[in-house]
Each structure stands twice: as C-alpha cells, then as structure tokens.
Chain A
Amino acid sequence: NAGVTQTPKFQVLKTGQSMTLQCAQDMNHNSMYWYRQDPGMGLRLIYYSASEGTTDKGEVPNGYNVSRLNKREFSLRLESAAPSQTSVYFCASSLQGAAGELFFGEGSRLTVL
C-alpha cells in the first residue's frame, strides 16, 4: 500500500542549484498535483496534471517546471533554487481531479541557503 511516494524527503540546496522532486502513485489515478506548504499560508498549488500528457499552472508556478512522465509519475524541477523556495512540498493524486479527494505523499522538506 505505497499510495503516493515522494523522494527525497529532505534536501538542502545552495542558491542557484537545481534539483528535481520525484513523485509516483500506484493507485492508477488520472490527476496529480504539486503543492507547497508555508507557515500561515496553508497549501498552495504549484502545478497540476489533469491527465497523462497535460500540465497546467496553479497559484504559484514561478520558478518551477513539471513533467508528467507517465500516468504514475509527476516530477517537479527547480532550475535555479532561491531562498524563497524553502518550503515543504507535497505531491498528491486524485482519481476524479479536484472533484474528488486528494491523496498526499508524506512531503519533501527543501531548504535553500
């Protein structure tokens, strides 16, 4: 029962470095999401993929890129990390898009120095 798996769980970067957060789900869900959680801000949507082959911007997409590699995998890339991207990142998936519940991974804590 893996559900939604994110890697890595922790990462420290220097300003300007790049990295990719990986996410995979084994529930055969169509939709996948990347959120970031910051104190006092709740969860904010970065990008989502309604189905394999499609991606769309969410509320806070600047500084990020995504790839829906196949139905199972949805990666989030930071090309040039900035301290403002220090956050906890959550990947989620859903069978029915936002009309159904989202299943979340355990989160990835990223610190940019």
Chain B
Amino acid sequence: DQQVKQNSPSLSVQEGRISILNCDYTNSMFDYFLWYKKYPAEGPTFLISISSIKDKNEDGRFTVFLNKSAKHLSLHIVPSQPGDSAVYFCAASAINNNDMRFGAGTRLTVKP
C-alpha cells in the first residue's frame, strides 16, 4: 500500500517562478515529514523537513507546508533555478518507528 503519494510525476516551470510540489499521505500516525532531492546517478539528499507540531518550515528558497487535517504537504521553491531540476521525493515516518516511507517522486524541470 502506497502510504505516501506524489500524484504528479513531473512538473515544468520557468526560471524565477515558483515551483510547488505536492504530497499526500494516508497514515495518520506519521508525524515527521521530509523532502529529498535526487540527481541522476546519485543518492537522494535531504532538503527540508517538518514535524507535525508545525504547519510551516522555511529554509532559504525552500518552504514546506503541512496540512494535517487534509494529510497533505507541499514544497515551495521560490525563485526556481535551473540547478533545482531534479527528482523530489516526499517521505514520512512515525515517532519511535524506523520505517520511513517515500512517495514515487516528482521530476522538476526548471527552464532557463
């Protein structure tokens, strides 16, 4: 069962504009959420995270929003840059549980 879902396989945006990547989850026990970025032929790298006690976390150009009632989170990248072109994975875990679940990923392309 896919407990973390990223329904958009791909997204294309113009350089300088906002990129919004979405993620939905089904397991109400999840209380920690992360975004990872992956370039071809490399392992995923951590980008930003949020715990369930917050609804927003910001780090430079990257902001993650969490809507617990809707079981939805999103990653905003402003402004988008060509170097942001990568696959972005949403991930979630529950406290005291080492089972971190990932979504299928969204391929972001930022056009110059």
Identify the A interface with B (CB < 8 A): 4, 31, 33, 35, 40-45, 48, 50, 56, 58-59, 90, 92, 97-99, 101-107
A31 & B43 in contact (Cβ 8 Å cutoff): no
Q: Which of B6, B43, B97, B99 contacts A4 (CB 8 A)?
A: B43
Contacts of B93 in A (CB 8 A): 98-99
B43 & A42 in contact (Cβ 8 Å cutoff): no
Is B95 interfacial (CB-CB < 8 Å)? yes
**For the complex of A and B, 9 pairs with smallest distance between CB atoms:** A104-B43, A98-B93, A101-B46, A43-B102, A42-B104, A98-B100, A42-B102, A97-B98, A98-B98
Nearest chain A CB to B80 CB, angstrom units: 22
B99 & A106 in contact (Cβ 8 Å cutoff): no
A45 & B104 in contact (Cβ 8 Å cutoff): no
Contacts of A59 in B (CB 8 A): 99, 101
Contacts of A58 in B (CB 8 A): 99
Q: Please count the residue pairs between chain A and chain B whose beta carbons lie under 8 angstroms apart in the complex.
A: 64
Q: Which of A42, A48, A92, A98 contacts B32 (CB 8 A)?
A: A98
Question: B8-20 vs A: 1/0 string, CB under 8 Å?
Answer: 0100000000000
B98 & A106 in contact (Cβ 8 Å cutoff): no
A45 & B100 in contact (Cβ 8 Å cutoff): yes
Contacts of B34 in A (CB 8 A): 101
Contacts of A43 in B (CB 8 A): 44, 89, 91, 102
Contacts A42-B103, A43-B91 aside, 18 further interface pairs with beta carbons under 8 A come to A45-B100, A45-B101, A58-B99, A92-B43, A97-B98, A98-B93, A98-B97, A98-B98, A98-B100, A101-B34, A101-B46, A102-B44, A102-B46, A104-B36, A104-B44, A104-B45, A107-B41, A107-B42
